[in-house]
Amino acid sequence: MTTVLAAEDLTKSFGDLIAVNGVSFEIAEGETFGLLGPNGAGKTTSISMVAGLLEPDDGTIHVAGTPIKTNSTDGRSDIGLVPQEIAIYPDLTGAENLRFFGRLYDLPGEKLDKRVEEVLEVIGLAERQDDLVSEFSGGMQRRLNIGIGLLHRPKLLILDEPTVGVDPQSRNAILESVEDLSGEGIAVLYTTHYMEEAERLCDRVAIIDEGVIKAEGTRRELVSLVGERDRIRVNVTGDLVEVARVASELPAVHEASPADSGVEVLANDASSLLPELLSRVSATGATVTGVAVSEPNLEAVFLHLTGKALRD
Amino acid sequence: MGAATQIAGKDLKLRVRDRSFFIMGIITPLALAYIFHLVFGNTFTAESLELEVGLVDLDGSEVSQSLGEVLSALEADGTLALSEFDDVAAAEAALEEDGGAFIVLDAGLGEAAVQGRPFTIPVVGDVDSPTSTEIASSIASGFGSAIERTQLSIVTTVGLGETPSPEEVAAWGEEAALRPPAFAFTDVSADTRQLDANTFFAAGMAVFFLFFTVQFGVVGILEEKQSGTLARLLAAPISHTSVVAGKAILSFSLGLISMTVLIVATGLLMDAEWGPPLGVALLVIAGVLAATSIMGVIAATATSADGAANLGAIIAVILGMLGGTFFPIGQGNDFLARLSYLTPHAWFMRGLSDISGGAEWTEALPAVGALLLFTLVFGTVAWVLLQRKLTR
């Protein structure tokens, strides 16, 4: 796949504070790439450099092959930015906001009108397009915020924590919209400190903390990188000690121990292990009353890599 | 330039919708100018200097009548309004009604003048008409001095053994009265080209609030930064120059609209006479540019929109007061007069004064030049600092 964004060795300091230190990553066409890290990790500084808002002290950025510089407008038309703040004008209508930014991207009159209509449909605001934005709910404003970033059909869409402060319903609508973008071939750079969002949306994730990328890869790669295992909870009635012993004899099982009214099993690949495990448990005479499988998540990975929780 | 006008157009729409421009740029200065017009307009206008002076001639001699002739001449050239009364009671009644002052020429004044006896000329003035009273006193004093000089002439003549006839004495008295009086009227508005009160307050309020009005443009950069929209503008394929230029265009446009509306409105409502249109237009354009430049520096140095608004208000008030927009601060004080020319306000007001009273529009050029110098200095600083601010 074609590389849309290539960021190499980005470094940025503010006085004595090194906000970003040697950050590199690439995003391909149609790929959603997540920057996962707590507040102050360097996510916003990184995307500010990618968007051409901040000049890196060191490193290079290319979008669709064009170098991005703060003092040049080259390559800007290929970038769509959705800032963390709701960056729209409350005293303009939804359509007026879209038209204003569309004109800045040199969309000509008829094409602009058509594109505005399309985007309003996509973000579900066609019915409210002539209402002042100040009359919109927070979720509607967030959707318009994203719509402006999409208006000029960018090759790279940068979303900086787009769901902060959004109600669950609007949040889900936003996440669905982002999921659709990869189908349209747009490369998405998505920053978040919500582990669930990164897991749901991102093809690849970079875990960033204190300005440094600690690890990068698919969710599975990241998990295996730190050796985290799947957790299987088997609720049974019967001899819990015997059940745990039988389970621990399976080669894929790392550890099995009685807990409350069941057994906790740590294994490498829960989905392939589960049929045999349940068969062995039943053979002991115990009755299985419930099974729950939880794969290791990015939260655990982050904790393992940084020694602190994601929301610290 | 296209992006700059797009940004300016968008901001103009926002300012119109939130009504802040109308309040600060038009309604407030117009209301204040009108209030000043109502309160002070009659005190300082040229019409109010049409002094109300009355004359009660109880003597009726040729000597006393000579003062009446002098006062009539002053009335004819528009210096004062003369009222003649038959007795003091009628004069007092008029004084009670209309204010002003009156001079009483008692019976026997002419005879006393001829005979060299002492005499008095009472002047009665209304407490609320100090100027009329002062002028009436000066006229009476001048007339009395003239008679005294005449008496001296008579004594000298008598000493030479010649006795003047009453007609001769009257002629001397009239001649004396027609000598330059002890007071002198100076047509201030013509000689020093000072604005009349209505125009002064209209222009003062217009240029004072101009500095608040233009803030809406350049300070908008800080507002956009706080709201996050600045990031969006800077991420678009437009230059930083376009963003700064867009804000400057808005400042200039708002200032121009505000001044134009105020000039027309104060002309219609307050009879303000701004002067030759070309001269006024040049002053307005130069004044708006200077105001935009100074407020641009404030926007470039402030860290927040609120901070810029507060600092801008302080600077605008100080410059406005020092520049004489509320009262002519430099009159009678050379230091303050010189200091006031450190403000664009003073140059703007001076420019208007220079083209008032029927002067040519070219008389405004020195003030226009000074205002453009402010623009050059502060505009350059603002332009550089604002561009730098956008890359931080």
Point out the residue among B17, B18, B228 whose CB comes nearest to the CB of A86. B228
Three-class SS state of A61: strand
A164 part of contact set with chain B, CB < 8 Å: no
pLDDT in 10s for each residue of chain B, 392 residues: 689 999 999 999 999 888 888 998 889 999 988 888 887 765 554 444 557 889 999 998 888 888 888 888 888 877 788 889 989 899 988 888 888 889 999 888 888 887 778 888 888 887 667 677 778 888 888 888 878 776 665 555 555 455 556 666 666 656 655 554 444 444 433 334 567 888 888 999 999 999 999 999 888 999 999 888 999 999 999 999 999 999 999 999 999 999 999 999 999 988 888 989 999 999 999 999 999 999 999 999 998 999 999 999 999 999 999 998 887 765 556 788 888 899 999 999 999 988 887 778 888 999 999 999 999 999 999 999 998 888 76
Beta bridge partners of A293: A232
How far, in Å, CA of A24 to CA of A135, rounded? 41
Residue range B49-190 in CATH 3.40.50: no
Crossing angle between the packed helical segments A138-150 and A94-104, to the nearest 10 degrees = 20
Distance between B264 CA and the closest CA of chain A, angstroms: 30
pLDDT for res B183: 41
**B239 CB near a chain A CB, below 8 Å?**
yes
Every domain of chain A and the residues it spans: 3-224, 229-295
> A202-233: string of b/e by CB count within 10 Å (b at 16+)?
bebbbbbbebbbbbbeebeebbebbebbbbbe
Domain topology for A229-295:
Alpha-Beta Plaits (3.30.70)
Which candidate from B6, B239, B240 shows the least CB-CB separation from A100? B6
Q: pTM of this prediction? A: 0.70
Sheet of strand B101-105: strand arrangement: B80-85, B51-57, B101-105, B123-125
Give the start-to-end residue ranges of the domains of chain B.
2-44+196-390, 49-190
Contact B229/A81, CB-based, under 8 Å? no
**Which chain A residues touch B239 with a CB distance below 8 Å?**
73
CB contact under 8 A, A73 and B235: no
B191-194: list long-range contacts, CB under 8 Å, 24+ apart.
Answer: B192/B353, B193/B353, B193/B354, B193/B356, B193/B357, B193/B359, B194/B328, B194/B353, B194/B356
Residue in B13, B238, B391 closest to A55 by CB: B391
- For residue A164, give the amino acid letter: V
Is any Cβ of chain B less than 8 angstroms from the Cβ of A66? no
CATH 1.10.357.10 fits A3-224, yes or no: no
Contacts B243 to A, Cβ<8 Å: none
Q: Does A169 touch chain B (CB under 8 A)?
A: no
Model pLDDT for residues A224-269, shown as the tens digit of each residue? 766 667 888 899 988 899 999 999 999 888 888 888 788 988 888 8
Give Cα B283 to chain centroid, integer Å.
17
Q: Which of residues 196-235 of B touch A (CB under 8 A)?
A: 227-229, 231-235
